[in-house]
A and B are shown apart, each in its own frame.
Chain A
């Protein structure tokens, strides 16, 4: 299960925010085989003071349409799979978000650190 947090500047219509969320999910499906229905996302809009970024760090030219995407996922995927996530997200958001404006961070966690409901750790090893 990934849990996805998307942070962006106020001003995009709801349809566009939804399309960004859709694109991020599709990218996860394509890059690491996440099940279609394994979709849990939070999208938060911020005013100018609430979303802070450097416009040139690492020589990448960013605009105030920048989108921060932080994804908690289970640990254990090889580097190539994880970097494929970045590539697929940028590709899927093309047309909605400039590739330079797509920032992604993965936070890896143990499989047993998830509960999808009912108070049970569905991915934990059975005793």
Chain B
């Protein structure tokens, strides 16, 4: 299960935020084999003062259209798979008008047994 946090500036419509959310999920399904139904996300809008970024760090020119995405997911995917994810995210969001430079992604890897999808059970933990 990935758990996705999407942070952006206030100003996009609910439909636009929904399209971004769908695109992020589609990129994960296509590049790292996330099951299509395994979709759990939080999308948070921020006022200008609460959404802080450098406009040129690493020579990447960013705008207020920036989307910050933090994905918590199981450990073990290859570097190549993770790179494919970044590219897939940039491709999908570009189709929605999000500039490639305006996409910041951070992966947080965790163990399989560190998830409960409901009912107080660790569904992915090894069976005793």
Shortest distance from the beta carbon of B15 to any chain A beta carbon, whole Å: 8
Picked from A57, A62, A68, A82, the residue with its CB within 8 Å of the CB of B3 is A68
B105 at the interface (CB under 8 A from A): no
Dominant SS at the A interface? mixed
A29 at the interface (CB under 8 A from B): no
Total chain B interface residues with beta-carbon distance under 8 A: 33
**Bound state CA distance, A48 and B21, in angstroms?**
12
Interface centre among B41, B44, B119 (most CB of A within 10 A): B119
- B116 near A57 (CB under 8 angstroms)? no
Contact code string B108-122 (vs A, CB < 8 Å = 1, else 0): 101101111111111
**Bound state CA distance, A53 and B14, in angstroms?**
16
Total chain A interface residues with beta-carbon distance under 8 A: 37
Chain B residues with a Cβ under 8 A of chain A: 1, 3, 14, 17-18, 21, 35, 37-45, 72, 108, 110-111, 113-123, 125-126
A-B pairs with the 9 shortest C-beta distances? A90-B120, A86-B116, A106-B114, A60-B118, A52-B41, A104-B116, A49-B14, A87-B120, A83-B122
Chain A residues with a Cβ under 8 A of chain B: 7, 44, 46-54, 56-58, 60, 62, 68, 70, 79, 82-83, 86-91, 99-108
